[in-house]
Amino acid sequence: MPLDQTFAGRTWPPTETYLVGREKIREFARAIGATDAEYHDPEAARALGYPDVVAPPTFPVAITMTASRQVVNDPALGLDYSRVVHGDQRFVYTRPMVAGDAVVCVNTVDEITTRGGHWFLTVRTEVRTEAGEPVVTVWSKLVQRGEEHP
């Protein structure tokens, strides 16, 4: 099924606030095998100049994947999630995310293209504090595989 290319450039309203928790950061760090002390120990993080434990660089995906549901669950887009594979992920930081940050996400469809019978959807998510301070921009590329023919 083709994707609706008029979604390119569309931006959604900010998500509900997500409070970044110390234990969520620790759980994520353990899950990915990140053992750096600043991901687990508030004192180690403070010694490096942070107010609390620091999130590993890929931690925002735990927030942005949920936030991107605004886009992928819109039936008008035409995305068949059963045919989706993850194509790419990119993070550009303004500053590290730390426990205690209260953040919102704003999703924008940057691009929709098709190649070789497959559809490529790039969603950009701007993660900012409630006060509007930029934290990180995350790009996620999803690939909707084309129909299989015998």
pLDDT digits (tens, 9 = 90+) for 11-39: 999 999 999 999 999 999 999 999 999 99
**Would you place residue 1 in the very low, low, confident or very high pLDDT band (cuts 50, 70, 90)?**
confident
Residue 111's DSSP bridge partners are 122
Q: For the domain 5-21+55-144, what is the CATH superfamily, name and number? A: Hotdog Thioesterase (3.10.129.10)
> Which sequence spans correspond to the domains of the chain?
5-21+55-144
Residue type (1 letter), 29: A
Structure tokens at 23: 């234990």
Q: In the predicted model, what is the mean pLDDT of the chain?
A: 95
Is this model's pTM higher than 0.75 or not? yes
Share of the chain above pLDDT 90, in %: 95
Report DSSP letters for 60-119, one per residue. Answer: THHHHHHHTHHHHT-GGG---GGGEEEEEEEEEESS--BTT-EEEEEEEEEEEEEETTEE
Quickly count: other Cβ atoms within 10 Å of residue 69's Cβ. Answer: 11
Q: Is the pLDDT of residue 150 over 60?
A: no
3-state secondary structure of 59: coil
Confidence grade of residue 149 (pLDDT, cut at 50, 70, 90): low
